[in-house]
Structure 1
Amino acid sequence: MEQLTALTGPTGTGTFTAYDQGAQLAAWRPRADAPEVIWESAHTKHEQGTAIRGGVPLCLPWFGPGVDGPFHPAHGFARIAPWRLRDRHETGHRTVLQWELTDADVTGVPGAEHFRHPFRATCVHDLGSDAEIQLTMANSGSETFRYELALHTYLHVGDVRQVRVTGLEGATYLDKLTGAEQQQEGELVLTGQTDRVYRSAGPVQVHDPVLGRTLTVTSTGAASTIVWNPWAEQAQSMADLGDEEWTQLLCVETGNVLADAVELAAGASHTTTARISVD
């Protein structure tokens, strides 16, 4: 299997790693002497056509099995598609990368047969003392279509069992493990496998006493926040995740999924942005 070629470089005082496949940010830190903010598994395979475990995968044009699914691959075809890098430049203490993907680019990509609509997607990474990921979907056809998306951010934490998540208090959520609709009471402390879709756009703060920092995910153009961690038992069944790596990750995802999927009229576009900052 052909190996992916990494894009690397500085972002002012920090560093980043990204890939053209999936227009995916794989690693970012705001300072070279600071811990990574974006987590990536040491067991992932950087192979063409294989999803990367970690980073910020782009789940598009469906999330999970899809509203109208079940579709394969899970989370859509965009994260394994070959996006085209249209621009890369440095400005001030920031690095900006811009990719593009159209319906013509995904011919033959697994799953593209489930989404037969003309589209143009662009993804911009604006990286410096914070990281901003912007995904724009444009309907270049003559009929309205519906799509889901998620910026599936894997945050690096010291120990997920010790973090506190704030900003979701009072929000309703679907517990995907039980199928039940519930309401968040107080701050979120994870005590087991977690897979929740909150009807909330945040912002969300992850307070990490082990690494001594707070990570904040701020979104625009989004209605959903997804929180996920596999915990020990599920992690052991995942080939691209080490048995103990689950303690180091927490997914806080920005998106429009399930009932909040985007209805996009012909000629229209929609932009969703996630900004990750470190305090």
Structure 2
Amino acid sequence: MADFTPRALTIGPSELTAYDHGAHLAQWSRHGVPVVWVSRRARYETGETIRGGIPVCWPWFAAGRDGRTQPSHGFARTAGWHLAEETDTGLRWRLTDGDTHGLPGTKRFPHRFELVHEVEVLREGGSEVLEVSCTTLNPGDSPFTFEVALHTYLHVGDVQAVRLSGLGGVGYYDKVVAAEQTQQGDLRLTGETDRIYHSPGPVVLHDPVLERDLDLRSEGADSTVVWNPWAAQAAKLPDLGDDEWSRMVCVEAAALGDAGIELAPGASHTVTQRIALDTRS
């Protein structure tokens, strides 16, 4: 049974809301202003994913490498994780193959595994940094291949006003037009956007409306995914308000590669995303 009892932490001016369902950080706010965003229409129901926050996409991204694997983004984000530790600064969850029997999609990944997911607010330079990491461990006797992404939804003042720097000159696969492209200069969103950039960044999101920059850095990732459904596609999503697309953008740390990550028996791989807030105008 999924547990949607919110776990709330206050760390200085930071407030976190998270759920054991999906080991899902739903929101991070500072001084009452959201940084990590969650939809007001998010569904907190068994089998559903929470629209917003930082879903854990695992063991495949989207429809997988074959383009036909379901459910989209894997089964970890709808699983009931076990809270392993709660501290004054964050949360740590654990999930194993023994916890996921019977979930849709698990037959497509018949391997032993252990996941450890951690969310922590750190103090650096007089401000807070959100650090989120997902570690995949292989306790079995044979290797397996997987993909993982931290599907981070960021709150913005107006998505049409923001600018993303750090991706200039980087190649990317544009899923909207199904073609490889190269980013020219900074990225400004002008319509439906669904791109897999072949670079882990770092990326800076400049938000003139909220008068802040978000510095996003990752480790263990090889790709940066940028997504916004825009108005027409947003209208098709029942767990997203019709106007909410203009107040969010996803900037995701992902380990995808051409064939995913092959993990040997006894080995582990961690993907980490750090979000630092700079409110200087």
TM class, shorter-length: over 0.9
**Residue 118 (structure 1) aligns with:** 112
Aligned-residue identity in percent: 49
CA displacement at 1:216 relative to structure 2? 1.3
Equivalent pairs counted in the alignment come to 273
**Residue 19 (structure 1) aligns with:** 19
Structure 1 residue ranges, 4+ long, deviating more than 4 angstroms after superposition = none
Pairwise CA RMSD of aligned residues?
Answer: 1.3
**Residue 48 (structure 2) aligns with:** 50
CA displacement at 1:246 relative to structure 2? 0.1
**Residue 208 (structure 1) aligns with:** 207
Partner Cα distance (1:11, 1:115) in 2: 37
Deviation track 1:230-272 (CA, whole Å, cap 9, x = no partner) reads: 0000000110011100000000000112516211111110011
CA displacement at 1:108 relative to structure 2? 1.1
Task: Report if the CA contact (8 A) 1:167-1:203 is conserved.
Answer: yes
**Residue 164 (structure 2) aligns with:** 165
Task: Report if the CA contact (8 A) 2:2-2:21 is conserved.
Answer: no
Find the partner of 1:85 among 80, 83, 93. Answer: 83
**Residue 9 (structure 1) aligns with:** 9
Q: CA 1:126 to 1:2, structure 2 compared with 1: closer, same or farther past 3 Å? A: closer
CA displacement at 1:3 relative to structure 2? 6.3
Partner Cα distance (2:102, 2:121) in 1: 32
**SS of match in other structure, 1:71:** coil
**SS of match in other structure, 2:10:** strand
Structure 1: which amino acid aligns with 2:209?
A: V
Q: What TM-score does the superposition give when structure 1 sets the normalisation length?
A: 0.95
**SS of match in other structure, 1:170:** coil
CA displacement at 1:48 relative to structure 2? 2.2
Task: Report if the CA contact (8 A) 2:57-2:149 is conserved.
Answer: yes
Partner Cα distance (2:32, 2:169) in 1: 33
Matched, 1:107 2:121: no
**Residue 63 (structure 2) aligns with:** 65
Deviation track 1:129-169 (CA, whole Å, cap 9, x = no partner) reads: 11100110011111111100100000000000000000111
**Residue 125 (structure 2) aligns with:** none
Matched, 1:275 2:274: yes
Deviation track 1:56-91 (CA, whole Å, cap 9, x = no partner) reads: 00000000000135111100000000010000011x
CA displacement at 1:45 relative to structure 2? 1.1
Task: Report if the CA contact (8 A) 2:2-2:80 is conserved.
Answer: no
| Unmatched 5+ stretches in structure 1 | none
**SS of match in other structure, 1:79:** helix
Matched, 1:220 2:219: yes
